[in-house]
Amino acid sequence: MKRKQMMEELAGRIAAIRLDRTVRVAIDGVDASGKTMLADELVEPIQQLGRNVIRVGVDGFHRPRAERFRLGADSPEGFYHDTTDYPTVLREVLDPLGPGGNGRYRTATYDWQTETTVDSPQITAKPNSILLFDGIFLCCGLNFVTTGISASSFLPTSMSRWPEPEHETAIFLALVMPPKTVIENASSQDNDSISSKPSQNSSQM
């Protein structure tokens, strides 16, 4: 199957989901697996099917450097537990766009490259919207149910101390790549100075 055909089929499956609020789609995978690229490529075919698209990534919600590296810059445990500000992800994106939410979300709160806070404006989701949310560790701690995945908001098991929200229909996409491909992609990104900094147009489209 050609990539364009695959994108159109995937976009069709996502666009077919109808809720009385925003449909939240998680796109997970290791670094350099192509999460952001996939999410960006899905925007246009979904829009062509008459759906509004909201693009947000977990990279816009890092913790400050002192918190990220409290266990050391090379700590796997620190990378897993301390990289992302999950309470802020919940408060600013997933809860507002989830069951009972007010529909007002933000696309970023922190720029990890400049180590500065980001005062992005609140945006009101349009009716019939679909959130494409990409990032690492989104699958951890999710409880799969017959209708889709849990509304546990894509949080790692370290966040399981929070009450489990009600289940909802959603889509979870996990990118699985051979290690060699991931390493090659990462090397290419380093050479081309491609960063995971949140895009300035990461918003409602």
Q: What's the CATH number where 141 sits?
A: 3.40.50.300
Asked, for residue 138, whether it belongs to a domain, the answer is yes
pLDDT at residue 131, rounded to an integer? 93
Statement: residue 86 has pLDDT above 90: no
Query: What's the domain count of the chain?
Result: 1
Q: Are strands 123-124 and 104-105 parallel, antiparallel or unpaired?
A: antiparallel
Asked, for residue 197, whether it belongs to a domain, the answer is no
**What is the Cα–Cα distance from 157 to 125, expressed in whole angstroms?**
28
Residue type for 18, please?
Answer: R
Give the tens place of pLDDT for each residue, 63-72.
999 999 999 9
**What is the Cα–Cα distance from 132 to 111, expressed in whole angstroms?**
20
pLDDT at residue 10, rounded to an integer? 87
Which residues make beta-bridge pairs with 172?
26
Q: pLDDT exceeding 90 applies to what percent of the chain?
A: 31
Asked, for residue 204, whether it belongs to a domain, the answer is no
**What is the Cα–Cα distance from 196 to 46, expressed in whole angstroms?**
23
Asked, for residue 196, whether it belongs to a domain, the answer is no
Asked, for residue 95, whether it belongs to a domain, the answer is yes
Say which residues have a Cβ less than 8 Å from residue 197's Cβ, sequence separation at least 6: 59, 111, 112, 113
Statement: residue 136 has pLDDT above 60: yes
Asked, for residue 105, whether it belongs to a domain, the answer is yes
**What is the Cα–Cα distance from 103 to 61, expressed in whole angstroms?**
18
User: What is the phi-psi region of residue 52: left when phi exceeds 0, alpha when psi lies from -120 to 50, beta otherwise?
Assistant: beta
Tell me the pLDDT band of 77, cut-offs 50, 70 and 90: confident
pLDDT at residue 171, rounded to an integer? 59
Q: What is the mean pLDDT of residues 119-133?
A: 93
Give the tens place of pLDDT for each residue, 3-12.
888 888 888 8
Please report how the helices 3-15 and 35-48 are oriented relative to each other, as an axis angle in degrees rounded to 10. 70
* Secondary element (H or E) of residue 172: strand 171-175
* Domain ranges, residue 97: 3-191
What is the overall mean pLDDT for the chain?
74
pLDDT at residue 13, rounded to an integer? 87
What's this model's pTM, rounded to 2 decimal places?
0.73
pLDDT at residue 37, rounded to an integer? 87
pLDDT at residue 90, rounded to an integer? 84
Tell me the pLDDT band of 62, cut-offs 50, 70 and 90: very high
pLDDT at residue 135, rounded to an integer? 84
- The label of the residue with tokens 């999460």 reads 35
Residue 110 φ/ψ, nearest 5 degrees? -150, 135
**What is the Cα–Cα distance from 105 to 55, expressed in whole angstroms?**
11
Statement: residue 56 has pLDDT above 90: yes
Q: What is the mean pLDDT of residues 98-120?
A: 93
Give the tens place of pLDDT for each residue, 138-189.
766 333 222 233 333 333 333 333 333 443 445 566 655 555 554 555 555 5
Asked, for residue 198, whether it belongs to a domain, the answer is no
CA 63 → CA 34, 59, 120, distances in Å?
A: 23, 10, 16
pLDDT at residue 87, rounded to an integer? 84
pLDDT at residue 105, rounded to an integer? 97
**What is the Cα–Cα distance from 127 to 172, expressed in whole angstroms?**
21
Q: What is the mean pLDDT of residues 19-46?
A: 84
Residue 44 φ/ψ, nearest 5 degrees? -65, -50
Asked, for residue 203, whether it belongs to a domain, the answer is no
Angle (CA) 115 96 158, round 5°: 60
